[in-house]
Amino acid sequence: MIVTIDGPAGAGKSTIAKRLAEELDFQFLDTGAMYRALTWHAQKSGVRLTAANELATHCLAVPLQIRSGTLWVEQVPMGAEIRTPEVSRDIHYVADNVQIRRHLVDLQRQWVCDANFVSEGRDQGTVAFPSAECKFFLTATPETRARRRQRQLQQQNLPSVYEEILAAQLDRDRRDQSRPEGRLLKAADAITIQTDEMSISEVVAQLANIVQVRLSPRMP
């Protein structure tokens, strides 16, 4: 079974998708990490991000692998280096590039194949896996999402000015919603979960219940 979780930045998708996958004993795919890793790789390689063809040629040659839910690039597991504000600032060059998007969607389909997966991103229920059996759209108000992000940054002793976080996030929302292909969109058959007043554990429990119900008729 494929479970897709889409939604805007800061809705808690990665944490929730990872926990849900653990709870269901499914594999986990963080597709945002793929866009992040290619942005990071292009930055450190000095590729001109504004040159769409050059960027696509570079990115299509970067070997990506997934091992136990972690993304690896050239035999290196990706971590904090792909979650910096610089990567978030430039990610639209990669995410807006249709050649790169199609390549990443192909990889996602190869990796997921017929296995049990929770796959998380922006276009998983709409473009990558339109026939997934269980689709969720996780969201929260921009203010809630910015406050959550601020708390995460404070915990890491990183700069955390609320107004700046909110402005950067609104900018990313606008870009994510307006790209011609693979834009952030709720699939018609996705269930919306408004997470403002919910804890992570409550969201995971709610999603797990829904998935279990959909799984149960398949049991002998």
- The residues of the shown chain that bind ligand C5P, judged by CB under 6 A, are 9, 31-32, 35-36, 91, 95, 121-123, 172, 176, 182
Q: In terms of CB distance, is 19 or 36 closer to ligand C5P? A: 36
Q: In terms of CB distance, is 29 or 47 closer to ligand C5P? A: 29
CB of 202 within 8 A of CB of 208? no
Q: In terms of CB distance, is 167 or 213 closer to ligand C5P? A: 167
Beta carbons within 8 Å of 135's beta carbon, 6+ residues apart: 3, 4, 6, 124, 125, 187, 189, 190, 191
Q: CB of 18: closest distance to ligand C5P in angstroms? A: 12
Q: CB of 35: closest distance to ligand C5P in angstroms? A: 4
Q: CB of 179: closest distance to ligand C5P in angstroms? A: 7
Q: In terms of CB distance, is 24 or 182 closer to ligand C5P? A: 182
Which helix (H) or strand (E) is 121 found in, with range? strand 117-121
Helices within the chain (DSSP H only) = 13-24, 31-45, 52-60, 85-95, 98-112, 142-155, 162-178, 200-215
Helix (H, G, I), strand (E, B), or coil: what is residue 143? helix
Q: CB of 37: closest distance to ligand C5P in angstroms? A: 10
